[in-house]
Structures are given as structure tokens and as C-alpha cells.
Amino acid sequence: NTSNKLSGKTVLISAGPTQEAMDPVRFISNHSSGKQGYAIAKAAKAMGANVILVSGPVQLEKIEGIQTIDVTSALDMFEAIKQNADKADYIIMAAAVSDYRPENIAEHKIKKSDDTIEMTFVKNPDILAYLGQCKTKKQIICGFAMETQDLDKNAKEKLEKKNCDMLIANNLFVSGAGFQTDTNIVSLLTKDSIEHLPKLSKEELGQKILETMMKIEEGKTKC
Ligand code: C5P
């Protein structure tokens, strides 16, 4: 019976891309559909959790019974996550947060002029790294990593650098994995293990992620 495994737990999930405005009509973003984050939210709800979903701009239907906070930019997402992190037992950062944003947002539409155009970008805060730094004793944190090469090595480094308990790594170039699809093929890393999972639906993967987080929590309380 999976229906109440997470009752009494609050799960905070981020999903989708962020959009970084350049002017009132333009932005930079990425191809994230939000499907993986929403699928984790559904799985958490099915397991009885109280779910808070912080969602970038996506074309997905709202999930009934889940508190969804809509955000646009990485800075908006950071604020929403900071406001809700204290309540969370489990945090899963599935969002594809833009690493950079334009330094200035032009007040008016940028006019076509020269053949080339230059724009300065500044780094966005790394939300996952922030969460890793402020992590409370009870919290379990899971990040995502999308790589195009040296997946396992880069993922392991990311897990350590960002002080996560778990990291889900996928390779953009494997078919049936990553952005837009309904399935995912990933490696699941914890501090002392790596598991190469078969192709799963994004909701099955959501359940697997949450079950692994429960195991990590059990391990912690035993020590
Ligand atoms: O370093 P990289 O962007 O590959 O790390 C991916 C993980 O970090 C994801 O879990 C993503 O949600 C999170 N992230 C973040 N804030 C950023 C960039 C990435 O929380 N500015």
C-alpha cells in the first residue's frame, strides 16, 4: 500500500524552466517541460504527502490538491523556495534553473540596429547549493543533473559540491530521457551508492526517488 507512506511529510518540489527577461517582450530560457517535477509531485501526493510545487512557466495542467506557486525567473523561484524550505521534510529540485540572467532588463523593446548585439549576463543564485548549505538535520535534499558527457563523474561531483543527499542524473543525448519525454533513464546517486535505473515513466521515477529518500531518512534516524 503506497497511499499513506508519506503522510505527515511535507515535500517541496521545483519544476520547469525559468525565464530570464531581456526586455518587455523577450527572454532566455530552456527546453524543460516540467513533466518530471510534476510527475514527482503526483507521486508524492499519491503517497499521502503534503506537496508544495514551485513551478516555472509550463504547459501542464495544475494538479488537484497540490499547492502550486507559479514563478517566472530564477530570482522568483529562489524567493518562493526560501519562503517554503523551512516547512519541508524532503526537497526535490527538478527545475531547470537558468544559470545566468541579463544584467539589465531594458525598459522598452530593444530595437533592431547593428548586425551584432552584445549583452552581459550575471550569475543567478544556485538555489540547490543554498538549500544544501542551510539544510536542517531532518531535511533530505535531492538535486537533478543533466549532462552531455562524463555523466556519473560530474553527477558525483555535483552531489558533493551542493551538499545533497541524492542526485538524479540524466544524459540529454539518450533517447527516452530528459526534456519533453514521458519517460526517463537516469542514474540515482546517493553519498555512497550509484544505481543505473532502467527506462521508467516519470511518475514511476518519482515514486522511486521518494522511496529512496525515505530509506535515507531511516538510515539517518538509526545513527
Ligand atoms: O549545476 P547544475 O545547474 O547542473 O545543477 C542542477 C541542479 O541544480 C538541479 O537540481 C537544479 O534544479 C539546481 N539548480 C539550482 N539553481 C541554479 C542552477 C541549478 O537550484 N541556479
The pLDDT, as a whole number, for residue 139 is 97
Residue found under cell 545513527: 223
C-alpha radius of gyration, the chain, whole number: 18
Handedness of CA 46, 47, 52, 56 (dihedral sign): negative
Number of domains in the chain: 1
Is the per-residue pLDDT at 70 higher than 60?
Answer: yes
Q: Which strands form 193-196's sheet, in the order they lie side by side?
A: 67-70, 50-55, 10-15, 90-93, 140-147, 166-171, 186-190, 193-196
Catalytic residues: 30
Q: Is residue 108 part of a domain?
A: no
Q: Which domain holds residue 144?
A: 10-98+118-222
For the stretch 148-199, pLDDT in tens is 888 889 999 999 999 999 999 987 777 777 777 888 889 999 999 999 999 9
Here the CATH number for the domain that contains residue 71 is: 3.40.50.10300
Q: Give me ligand 1 centre to Cα 116, in Å.
A: 30
Q: Which atom of ligand 1 is nearest to the CA of 74?
A: 21
Q: Is residue 20 part of a domain?
A: yes
Q: Is residue 85 part of a domain?
A: yes
**Binding site for CTP: what residues are annotated?**
99, 109, 125-128, 144, 158, 162
Q: What percent of the chain has pLDDT over 70?
A: 98
AA letter at 76: D
Q: Is residue 112 part of a domain?
A: no
Buried b (16+ CB within 10 A) or exposed e, 167-194: bbbbbeeeeebbbebebbbbbbbbeeee
Q: Is residue 113 part of a domain?
A: no
Nearest Cα residue to atom 2 of ligand 1: 145
Q: Is residue 126 part of a domain?
A: yes
Cα atoms in the Cβ-side hemisphere of radius 13 Å centred on 54: 29
3-class SS shares of the chain: helix, strand, coil, % to 5:
30, 30, 45
Element (H, E) at 67: strand 67-70
Q: Give me ligand 1 centre to Cα 75, in Å.
A: 13
Calculate mean pLDDT across residues 211-221: 92
Ligand 1 pocket residues where CB is under 6 Å? 74, 93, 95, 97, 99, 124, 126-128, 143-145, 158
Q: Give me ligand 1 centre to Cα 60, in Å.
A: 21
Phi then psi dihedrals of residue 76, to 5 deg: -60, -45
For the stretch 99-126, pLDDT in tens is 999 999 999 999 999 999 999 999 999 9
- Integer Cα distance of 70 and 117 in angstroms: 32
Q: Is residue 144 part of a domain?
A: yes
The pLDDT, as a whole number, for residue 189 is 96
ipTM of model? 0.97
